[in-house]
Structure 1
Amino acid sequence: MLRPLVVAAPFLLWAFVGYVHAVTIYGPAGALRPSGTASSSGSGPISTGTLVNTQWIAALNAYNDVKLQAPALPNPMPSTSFAIGVANNAAGMGGLSIPQKGNFFGFSIEMSVVEQVLGLNASFIQIPFLNLLATVADRGGSVRIRIGGNTQETASLVDSLPNNAMIGKDKSVIGGSSRTAQTPTLEYTDELLYLLSNVSSLVNAKWYLGIPFNDTTHLRLQIAEAADSILGDNVLGYQVGNEPDLYASHERRPVDYSPQDYSDEFGVMVNGIHDDKKITRTGNLIAPSLQGTWSPEDLWSTGYLDAYGSSINVLAMEHYPDQNCAAEFPDGGFGPIKNPQDVFPNYLTHTSGQNLVKPYLNTAGIAQQLGKEFMMFETNTASCGGFPGVSDSFASALWAVDYGLQLAYSNFTGALLHVGGQNVSYNPFTPPPTNLSLFEKWTVGPIMYSTLFVAEALGTTNTSRVVDLAANGGNEFTPAYAIYEHDTLSRIALVNFMQEQNGAGSYSATISVGGAAFGESNSVPSQVKVKYLLAPSVSEKEQITWANQTFGGRFQVDGRLSGQEVIQTINCDQSANTCVVPVPGPGAALVFVSNDAQASSDPKASQTYSTTTVTNAIQTLTIEPSVLAHSNGHSGNFPLSGTSKGGANAALRLHSIDHSVVLIFVLLASFLTFVH
């Protein structure tokens, strides 16, 4: 069900007074200059209104300037020239995963930041968000998004909010704990659900939502009632309970809260959902979303799956490899603050992904027996916002490529990368701070590139089976995976966690297909195509490319890839049954064994959207300094000393302005367009 949608409804601004928020004047090199400083002539635009203060921006973790030193090369070094043998047919390979889909990686978006990330309401959608989703959906067939997190637990659907707001905060009710943040609870209207529906009408996006679980004596099921009606098949399921094994430590339940207590409360919710006639889908719950304090087996032993299995569609876990909570909450009892440089090497090893999946292998088998999906429902580099310099470095992209493929190999059916606000460093994508949204574009985190790599690695046939090749003697710095579609080899993924130093660190993999070892004939093709995920260093934050294309640097992203796509062609030696594929250090290579494999992974042509929208009826003007010399340039006794809306002297005594200046402003303003 859709509400009227306006992605961009331009109109001409014929009146200047009351609409101009800031003025842009020309100065050297386009650098930003604080308001009130002297102007000079030149070619670069400089804003004198709402400005980027680099010190203030760097204080936000999403834009931190921490850049770490690349770890030293391993000692001893692994072989940098090694062979990889793979069967051409799946029957010749052992240990293949269940069939996987290209939409394996999706996003988990904290409910409290929906307005900043998705849009203000159902009629104003963030265009970069649409474009970013399209890059994933075009490669994986669709994109899965969860709206929730800790803030879903106390959120309430209400009929209306002041000023027709979509989301508000009830400051009379405070959530959180004494160890972490004390935050007001959220209230939202069904406008949020119409917003999600309108996004789905533009991009093939599907949604997971959360039912509040903070009070099972007074169930609040309105989100499921409304979403079933508004979103229909675009809602995939409802999460019940977010990290219940942390309820006691977060002071949301008694200190002795146990797996049995959660199981009993979950039963109350299941009964309430089945008794609610407004909820039309009763078997699509997502649970238990454990964080790791309890093992899955702790909960299974209560009879949880026997009792509620028919109501659960997705068995879910939430896990981060580390936490940076002491830095975020110094008084929370989390111990000493961790040094990002010290933990940096932990993200540059195949062992990380292997250790992350190990506690869940038994449950992956149980999920298959029950015919359930099994998802890592929330994950990223580190909880409590990640590590500056790690979570926003190229290392995070390589880590996520390896982790995503390791999850797929281990029979998870999907993973959602978490998206928070301005003060986290692990975001796949971040809108500019609100007071810069008129001037700046978005920022993409390196980990976003991993979603493209994994989507193309798995393709769109929904038949991809993954196997960890234990390449190079199982070396932790040079992992490799083979992907089979329709039981035939289609792609090989190669990762190089090493940073090249003094000419060492890159490697070459010699790939053989079929042969006597697999009871097959030699099957190497005459050539293979290769796409590379590259950056100058593992610590690089912005200069990252996927097949030579990039989203852009900080405050430069509109959600679309730019640059000419470059796909390398490597000729193979069919007589020797070998293809030699170089992998730079650092970097990752996706090898397409056949043209059909590449064709099924190539992004499909889709509509993208221009980013000419702003968040309110305010705009900037670009004016030559000489024009300002007799206006607001603090020259003589001219009465107008500021143009920023709300400023002490803004728009005062306009009748005194020289008529030529007014004419210039009106003529320039008449060419501006806005979204209403």
Structure 2
Amino acid sequence: MALRSFVLQLLVTLLTVRAVTVYNQEPIAHVQTLSAQSVAATASGTSAAPLASHTGYKAYDPMTLTPPELPDPRPATQFNVQLQNSASNVQGLSIFQSGAFFGFSIETSVINQVLGKNSSHIQVPFLNLISLVAQRAGRFHIRIGGNTQETARYVDSTPDGRMIEKQGVDPNNPTATPALVYTIEMFYLLANISSLVNVKWYLGIPLNDTSDLRLEIAEYGQAIIGDNLIGLQVGNEPDLYQRHAKRPDGYNAQSYFDEFGQVIKAMESNPKINRVNYLIGPSIAHADWTPDQVWETNFVPAYSQYLSAVTVENYPSDNCAAIYAGVGTLKVPQNEYYKYLSHDAPNSGKAMIQKFLSSSAYVQTQGKPFMMFETNTASCGGLPGISNSFGAGLWALDYGLQMAYSNFSHALLHIGGQDVYYNPCTPPPTGQSTFHEWTIGPIMYSILAVSEALGSSNQSQVIDLFANGDNPYTPGYAIYERGTLARVALFNYMTDQTGLSDYTASISVGGSVLNQPNGTPTSVKVKYLRAKSVADHFNITWAGQTFGGIFESDGRLKGEEVIETITCDSTNNTCQIKVPAPGFALVFLTDAALQESSPKPPVTFATTAQTRTINTATVDTEVLATSNGHSGRSRQKGSTSKGSSSDAMGISSVVPSLTVLMSLLGGVLVLVKAFSR
């Protein structure tokens, strides 16, 4: 009876508890406190809450912004797009591109959340998501790395048998990024994923201590992942090493050049490593060095035989001041929103890559692919109401096609844990995985749309159409495949439910196609990416299908696919394509182009395995802690990304979620029942 009384008393305590203390993790419920943060209802009628109202994980923040006002004057709502059918008649086309242009950059510390607990328990929703892209693009590229790769090290086993674990913080490390240990299970996990879906991997060699290079990542990567390991990154944002006290004063591009050479020598002298010709660098953030300073060291030609790709990393903005007190200027998301919502806005892809265009051209002369190795809407986890909105989906889609047009070969969108806004996909918190599904962000739709726009032939070429008089609210691209016009991509950044800002593009094709002298087909097929407002988080559809809302996705598209057939005007030789405000239209000019981008039936995965069979009150602090994509541009301490810092190992007081309390309650009720018998 005494035990029963104790348990009942514990029940009462749980129901009245107001806070718990969690050690060794970043706060899971960071609240931004900004004056004038209350934002009005969006054009779709969704009420917008004050920024400080959400006290849960950032990935599920419902804060909704107000779309920017319509431009004055508005763009023309009827304009012509005259195209040539043959690529040989078009000047300025990109290099050949792959539908696998977009991939994921996944922070090493969260791979057990995103990929799977271990090689036997792979996340099925993740498999379904990447399968959707791989079926359209032929393959999918994933980088495992980021801030935590620099201190990661291999161990034969961990005390509790986990695949990865975070260790204590190095007091001499101003980034406060906890050291990460991993076991051989990580490599088998990646290999098993590739056995199910055609995934190619990039891994990172730690460069925090060149006197003790840890090359197990290359040894086991080659032995277990094999040919599906296509790149080893040497150093993550080395232009920030000095600022973050990872190197002494005077560390510069030449210093990195020398260290890259050290890694090559160490790998060549290691009998367990049989390949050294797929290294990746310099992966700078364009922060304290420029790419030109690296090229001046003769980096690319000197290491050409070892380089599989030349890489950079960049974010257009940051949200660091909201996380780290006294660092930079606090950004008001509503005031930042317009910077993402046009083709040439300050944070647009077009504006962002201007500083890399000369590097892209230079790397082409060296015969190497040029990659954006890590990017997303904003570092330090993204911006609430922006990074998780449909507007960010349009931004990423435009950004991807603009990079393809500018001769980048691939771009990897970063994924962190639950405490970031910008994830393309987010698994539920560990304690909720038995009853909640995944949450899919707007950027995942962008990845799908880009893969369909470029196709799986690896012979697509892209050109910016400078459509509608180069109006920034109505940009467009043409995609040529195997030398022939295949698809047209049209954007509308405006939000206007009246329909008055919808536009119609009249597409005409010169040259001969389908035995028609004028070249304009008799009909075209169109897929639409739609939402009612750029501010919407969910209620997004791609060709009529959706991933659903918060905690609603198993990684498969839901609903019936809707592909619209537009009959063209044979008299005027035009195809009238209407694009809603907001929205995106992908126009397929041939049935072959459509079939290539619309695989049927889709490959999906199922499982009968469960990592937990009952609800539990256990909260894995290693899984919950994040240090992902923090790349702020003005801080003097931070993660390995620009100017960032992490207080992930500090002591934080957080309010337990209802889910955790209910799980605790369930467990106690079981005890009560057991001891009442």
TM-score normalised by the chain length of structure 1 = 0.82
Q: Distance in 2 between matches of 1:507 and 1:137?
A: 32
Q: How does 1:223-302 map to 2 (within 5 A)?
A: 223-293=217-287, 294-302=289-297
Q: 1:646 to 1:189 in 2, by over 3 A?
A: farther
Q: 1:57 to 1:616 in 2, by over 3 A?
A: farther
The answer to which of 78-87 and 161-170 deviates more is: 161-170
1:293-332 deviations in Å (ceiling 9; x for gaps)? 221111111122232122111101111111111112224x
8 Å CA contact 2:169, 2:177 repeated in 1: no
Q: How does 1:294-373 map to 2 (within 5 A)?
A: 294-331=289-326, 333=327, 335-351=328-344, 352-373=348-369
Choose the corresponding residue for 2:571, options 560, 571, 575: 575
Q: 1:508 to 1:276 in 2, by over 3 A?
A: same
The answer to which of 229-238 and 245-254 deviates more is: 245-254
Instruction: Give the secondary-structure state (helix, strand or coil) at the position aligned to 2:463.
Output: strand
Corresponding residue number in structure 2 for 1:163 = 160
Kindly state the Cα deviation for residue 650 of structure 1 after the two structures are TM-superposed. 3.8
Corresponding residue number in structure 1 for 2:380 = 384
Q: Distance in 2 between matches of 1:158 and 1:189?
A: 5
Corresponding residue number in structure 2 for 1:433 = 429
Q: Distance in 2 between matches of 1:394 and 1:578?
A: 30
Q: Distance in 2 between matches of 1:74 and 1:111?
A: 42
Instruction: Give the secondary-structure state (helix, strand or coil) at the position aligned to 1:532.
Output: strand
8 Å CA contact 2:615, 2:666 repeated in 1: no
Q: Distance in 2 between matches of 1:242 and 1:604?
A: 39
Q: Distance in 1 between matches of 2:162 and 2:53?
A: 28
Q: Does 1:141 align with 2:134?
A: no
Q: Which amino acid aligns with 1:387?
A: L
Q: Distance in 2 between matches of 1:506 and 1:249?
A: 48
The answer to which of 562-571 and 319-328 deviates more is: 319-328
Q: Which amino acid aligns with 1:340?
A: P
Instruction: Give the secondary-structure state (helix, strand or coil) at the position aligned to 1:133.
Output: helix
Kindly state the Cα deviation for residue 58 of structure 1 after the two structures are TM-superposed. 4.6
Q: Distance in 2 between matches of 1:512 and 1:263?
A: 51
Q: 1:223 to 1:79 in 2, by over 3 A?
A: same
Kindly state the Cα deviation for residue 349 of structure 1 after the two structures are TM-superposed. 1.0
Q: Distance in 1 between matches of 2:577 and 2:313?
A: 36
Corresponding residue number in structure 1 for 2:190 = 196
- Structure with higher Rg: it is 1
Q: 1:606 to 1:534 in 2, by over 3 A?
A: closer
Kindly state the Cα deviation for residue 653 of structure 1 after the two structures are TM-superposed. 6.2
Corresponding residue number in structure 2 for 1:634 = none
Instruction: Give the secondary-structure state (helix, strand or coil) at the position aligned to 1:309.
Output: coil
1:575-607 deviations in Å (ceiling 9; x for gaps)? 211011000000000000011110111124343
Structure 1 spans left out of the alignment, 5+ residues = 1-33, 38-53, 621-641, 658-676
Q: Distance in 1 between matches of 2:603 and 2:478?
A: 32
1:429-461 deviations in Å (ceiling 9; x for gaps)? 001111211211110110110001000000111
Name the Cα RMSD after superposition.
2.3
1:196-239 deviations in Å (ceiling 9; x for gaps)? 01111111111000000101111111110111000001101100
8 Å CA contact 1:199, 1:205 repeated in 2: yes
Q: Which amino acid aligns with 1:189?
A: T
1:235-269 deviations in Å (ceiling 9; x for gaps)? 01100011111112222222432111111111111
Corresponding residue number in structure 2 for 1:522 = 518
Kindly state the Cα deviation for residue 79 of structure 1 after the two structures are TM-superposed. 0.9
Kindly state the Cα deviation for residue 174 of structure 1 after the two structures are TM-superposed. 5.4
8 Å CA contact 2:86, 2:511 repeated in 1: no
Q: Which amino acid aligns with 2:215?
A: L
Q: Distance in 2 between matches of 1:396 and 1:83?
A: 27
Q: Does 1:72 align with 2:69?
A: yes
8 Å CA contact 1:286, 1:315 repeated in 2: yes
Q: Which amino acid aligns with 2:671?
A: A
Q: 1:501 to 1:550 in 2, by over 3 A?
A: closer
Q: Distance in 1 between matches of 2:379 and 2:339?
A: 15
Q: Distance in 2 between matches of 1:501 and 1:133?
A: 33
8 Å CA contact 2:342, 2:493 repeated in 1: yes
1:127-178 deviations in Å (ceiling 9; x for gaps)? 111111111111111110000001001100111111221111221635752x
Q: Which amino acid aligns with 1:651?
A: L
Choose the corresponding residue for 2:590, options 578, 583, 594: 594
Q: Which amino acid aligns with 2:293?
A: D
Instruction: Give the secondary-structure state (helix, strand or coil) at the position aligned to 1:164.
Output: coil
Q: Distance in 2 between matches of 1:649 and 1:385?
A: 38
Instruction: Give the secondary-structure state (helix, strand or coil) at the position aligned to 1:365.
Output: helix
Corresponding residue number in structure 2 for 1:626 = none
Corresponding residue number in structure 2 for 1:152 = 149
Q: Which amino acid aligns with 2:250?
A: D
8 Å CA contact 1:109, 1:420 repeated in 2: yes
Instruction: Give the secondary-structure state (helix, strand or coil) at the position aligned to 1:381.
Output: coil
Q: How does 1:22-33 map to 2 (within 5 A)?
A: none
Q: Distance in 1 between matches of 2:524 and 2:485?
A: 12
Q: Distance in 1 between matches of 2:331 and 2:261?
A: 40
Corresponding residue number in structure 1 for 2:406 = 410
8 Å CA contact 2:54, 2:62 repeated in 1: no
8 Å CA contact 2:145, 2:203 repeated in 1: yes
8 Å CA contact 1:62, 1:424 repeated in 2: yes
Q: Which amino acid aligns with 1:597?
A: A
TM-score normalised by the chain length of structure 2 = 0.82
8 Å CA contact 1:437, 1:615 repeated in 2: no
Q: Distance in 2 between matches of 1:176 and 1:586?
A: 45
Q: Distance in 2 between matches of 1:599 and 1:468?
A: 24
8 Å CA contact 1:127, 1:558 repeated in 2: yes
Corresponding residue number in structure 2 for 1:184 = 178
Q: 1:131 to 1:532 in 2, by over 3 A?
A: same
Corresponding residue number in structure 1 for 2:671 = 651
The answer to which of 507-516 and 102-111 deviates more is: 507-516
8 Å CA contact 2:103, 2:412 repeated in 1: yes
Q: How does 1:465-544 map to 2 (within 5 A)?
A: 465-500=461-496, 502-514=498-510, 521-544=517-540
Number of residue pairs the alignment of both structures matches = 580
Q: How does 1:619-638 map to 2 (within 5 A)?
A: none
The answer to which of 579-588 and 604-613 deviates more is: 604-613
Q: Does 1:556 align with 2:552?
A: yes
Q: Does 1:104 align with 2:124?
A: no
Q: Which amino acid aligns with 1:136?
A: V
1:518-548 deviations in Å (ceiling 9; x for gaps)? xx94101000000000001000001100000
1:336-360 deviations in Å (ceiling 9; x for gaps)? 2101111101111111221122111
Corresponding residue number in structure 2 for 1:617 = 613
Q: Distance in 2 between matches of 1:107 and 1:56?
A: 31
8 Å CA contact 1:107, 1:418 repeated in 2: yes
Corresponding residue number in structure 2 for 1:639 = none
Q: 1:441 to 1:57 in 2, by over 3 A?
A: farther
Q: Distance in 2 between matches of 1:617 and 1:74?
A: 54
1:467-486 deviations in Å (ceiling 9; x for gaps)? 00110111111110000111
Q: 1:525 to 1:542 in 2, by over 3 A?
A: same
1:546-584 deviations in Å (ceiling 9; x for gaps)? 000001100001100000000000010122110110000
Kindly state the Cα deviation for residue 61 of structure 1 after the two structures are TM-superposed. 1.0
Q: Distance in 2 between matches of 1:135 and 1:98?
A: 25
Corresponding residue number in structure 2 for 1:6 = none
